[in-house]
Structure 1
């Protein structure tokens, strides 16, 4: 009888969950005005596809500093600098947010988690627009946007790595009279460093994609010539830029994944 009651309760819960999901989908569909596909969508898509098939190879490199290779290098530099800045600044935030003791409420950890959540709430594009107003358009605004936004994500991942680390080495050193600084240098840092490096590489992969987009709002990188090519309907140039972005992302993802596997 108890088994039958438990089965009925489980079915009721799944039924309510299913109804809730259906209600959310219905609310989402009815709340968005579906205007349909424009008549020019097929023609524009065909033109972009033709540009990809017949790319402008002369734009790959011409020594002007505005060519594809130069812009891809700038994009990588924006992503790299932004990731390095965020990785360094995320460490103190991570230790602030990490819950290292048992208990119901941790003011320090709660404050750190709230700060990291607040930082993550602002997308890179919004931050890029704000920094463009502060420092002007260009790569520097892109570096600041990626650097600040990535603090929220890396800080969260770093804090979770600190919470889940094996503390046996810390306990042993402290039991022999080691100071907090010695414990951190000998036990804590070597234990969490592989995870921190792995998360930083993963974030770098995401930053490369983000840096490709930030140029659309004037924050430097390959996004700027891509926007100009789209606005002027230069489909051959658009095609070679898209090919360059795809190749760059594939190479970075492959190299980063290989390094992270070795770290793991």
Structure 2
């Protein structure tokens, strides 16, 4: 017992035994602060009738809106939403690669400042939500799918750049060391070792980002950035709940199909 006390002083033993209590107090304090900031104003009198109308519309969707040949039907706008998400993700995946090499930390001491500045830039890009970027681009290029593509691509650069840089930092350097020991130069190391090693993980992250972009593109239309969100917000404003029901059903089917296909592709890559 004496040896144990000498090796582990009483304050250290007390901290090891009761440190979880400090975390409980911290978490409880955060929850209390968050709940205290909420101001419950009650439920409006029309909430019941509105909820019943929404439920009725969801259970009886407007099937005639699925396709009517106008180019503004559900099928056409779902394809437009997919196009916005795909093009925005494809462009951002290409641009994110140099950002990833810029932000990736290496063992060389001089490169810490370079990687630190790259991480700051990627953080600044991610700071702006896609819907804010969409509103800004609508003011710059006008409403439509072009603004949606720009919003998705710019925001995705920040996300993919961060994920790509972490892949570079955690990659297996065995192939690089082998080529370097055989006398290979930097371009040969990049093309024969670095890129083939990280390419499957890059593709996997890009597919995952595409899943998120599909959901985002469905919402950006609510501010005028094209896609299925535009008729959705119009249907909500006019209380056309059957139209809302078929649009939501189309979004659910689209997201489930993309998630399933993307998951299968990622499993084959990794």
Q: Under a length normalisation based on structure 2, what TM-score does the superposition of the two structures give?
A: 0.94
Question: Which residue number in structure 1 is paired with residue 181 of structure 2?
Answer: 175
1:193-216 deviations in Å (ceiling 9; x for gaps)? 000000000000000000000001
Gap regions ≥5 residues in structure 2: none
RMSD of Structure 2 on Structure 1 (CA)? 1.5
Question: Which residue number in structure 1 is paired with residue 168 of structure 2?
Answer: 162
Q: Confirm or deny that 1:255 pairs with 2:255.
A: no
Where do 1:71-150 residues align within 5 Å? 71-101=77-107, 103=109, 106-150=112-156
Whether the 8 Å CA contact 2:97–2:164 is kept in 1: the answer is yes
Question: Which residue number in structure 1 is paired with residue 236 of structure 2?
Answer: 230
Where do 1:174-253 residues align within 5 Å? 174-253=180-259
Question: Which residue number in structure 2 is paired with residue 17 of structure 1?
Answer: 23
Give the number of the structure whose alpha-carbon radius of gyration is greater: 2
Where do 1:27-46 residues align within 5 Å? 27-46=33-52
Separation in structure 1 between the aligned mates of residue 110 and residue 23 of structure 2, nearest angstrom? 29
Separation in structure 2 between the aligned mates of residue 46 and residue 17 of structure 1, nearest angstrom? 44
Choose 108-117 or 95-104, whichever is displaced more: 95-104
Q: What is the aligned residue count? A: 264
Q: Confirm or deny that 1:65 pairs with 2:64.
A: no
Separation in structure 1 between the aligned mates of residue 10 and residue 202 of structure 2, nearest angstrom? 49
Gap regions ≥5 residues in structure 1: none
Separation in structure 1 between the aligned mates of residue 52 and residue 17 of structure 2, nearest angstrom? 49
Separation in structure 2 between the aligned mates of residue 94 and residue 259 of structure 1, nearest angstrom? 23
Separation in structure 1 between the aligned mates of residue 13 and residue 246 of structure 2, nearest angstrom? 59
Deviation at 1:3, TM superposition (A): 7.9
Task: Describe the shift of the 1:25–1:46 C-alpha distance in structure 2 as closer, same or farther (beyond 3 A).
Answer: same
1:48-94 deviations in Å (ceiling 9; x for gaps)? 21111111000000000000000000000000000001100100000
Question: Which residue number in structure 2 is paired with residue 26 of structure 1?
Answer: 32
Deviation at 1:180, TM superposition (A): 1.0
Separation in structure 2 between the aligned mates of residue 195 and residue 162 of structure 1, nearest angstrom? 10
Deviation at 1:101, TM superposition (A): 1.2
Whether the 8 Å CA contact 2:106–2:112 is kept in 1: the answer is no
